Structure 1
Amino acid sequence: MDLAGKVAIVTGGASGLGRATVEAYVAKGAKVAIFDMNEANANEVIGNLGADNVGFWNVNVADESSVKEAVDGVVAKFGAVHICNNFAGIGSACKTLSKKGVHPMDDYMKVINVNLVGTFNVSRFAAEKMADNDPINSDGGRGVIINTASIAGMEGQVGQLAYSASKGGVIGMTLPMARDLASYGVRVNTIVPGLIHTPLFETIPEQAYKSLENSVCYPRRLGQPSEIAHLSVFIAENDYLNGECIRLDGAIRMQPR
């Protein structure tokens, strides 16, 4: 896919991995719709990249009507949807059972609803719009969905139960969704990040940060959002990449703690 002139939806696009991907897409000539709930951050991105290139929709990804209206709005503003990146997500730290009691169901469901249900919710409405596109290549391709999981979906640590379940679900959706959408010319892939340096890491003590860096096999550092964005661009551009979950993690394998 040639990204010039294409239209991308990026959930969680106002910060972190999503913001880096928005910037990478615009640099390639794409128009981008940010789906987020942080309007101030989104406006900063728009100020840097231009209102002609980037739009903002205040979206709760787990809410059906919120997503449907926003996706309709993207088509009204930019004319189509060719790419959908799902980065929006939340985490939690709670064991199945601890001295405080059992894992609260509300906390579990909140993570599942945002990370797993939200990813599915945005993907299905984006796919519906992609199916309306004229083919953009000789293979009959019409679009690509790029979801975001985590190595926690494969090697969840103590206290990551809800987060790991949600990300494992995203990994599990990848191939069936790719098969579901093949007849429409829509590819589906999932990025599986390791430890990526987002603003969250600015708040932890240096000793803890160094310990995290040292847990990575090579290169012995945290990944950068720009490296996730680079992979997103590659996935979008490579028309033969489909149904894959790609780890970007410096060969780390997470231990129980």
Structure 2
Amino acid sequence: MLARQRQAAILERVRAFGGVRVTELAAEFGVSDMTIRRDLETLHERGVLAKVHGGATVTGPGSTDEPGFRAKSVRQSAEKAAIADHAARLVHPGAAIALSAGTTTAELARRLVDVPGLTVVTNSLPVAEILHVGGRPDQTVVLTGGVRTPSDALVGPLAVAALGTLHLDLLFLGVHGISERAGFTTPNLMEADTNRALVAAADRLVVLADHTKWGTVGISSIVGLDAADVLVTDDRLAPDARRTLADRVGELVVVPGTEGTP
């Protein structure tokens, strides 16, 4: 296959799925990772896709843009792993917790499969599948009903009703964006309602958000910055954002080891 043909096929996959991984493309086309990276660089320079760590995604996000789960999963993978590693240390055996939808919360779910006696409430199909397939038999997974979003979240009145009578120790919340004015935001109006119901059901709120979420504003606010008991982010977050968040959230945790990641 010629380079132009391969690049056209790559672009078609990005547009169809929202995102692609270098390793998957290399295996599919029978070429090296370096060849795929050069293809992605060429397409990036043409402005038809956005390069991210480990792959590429579609370009042009806005306040109502809602990437699919697969597209988001290839973004900031190192940062999400570091954030999830820290968040897992906050979970104790026998706890009743909630995990919202999102790729960072899915990373956290992979680290909770061996926690005994855990009860997990979630509106995320990937989170529920991870714990159902790999979790312990003494774990309980509660999946809300609702309408499925492009990011594989279940949202809407059914999800809100399911959460209305629950009392949970801890909520791990993934967000689309963070700003000083708008707080924690999402591009999906119904998901905002569902996330607010999750917040109301939990004694403590832990927000999991990599540095790219700062300055991004979705169309609907979930809660203000002051509502977060803990915000876990990575060390690529800008100094001014750190100062702002340290003043507003209960505790700001900046996990080390991701600064300088491409």
Structure with the larger strand share: 2
Greater relative contact order (Cα 8 A, min sep 6): structure 1 or 2?
A: 1
Is the structural similarity TM-score above 0.5? no
Shorter chain as normaliser: what TM range? 0.3 to 0.5
TM-score (norm 1): 0.42
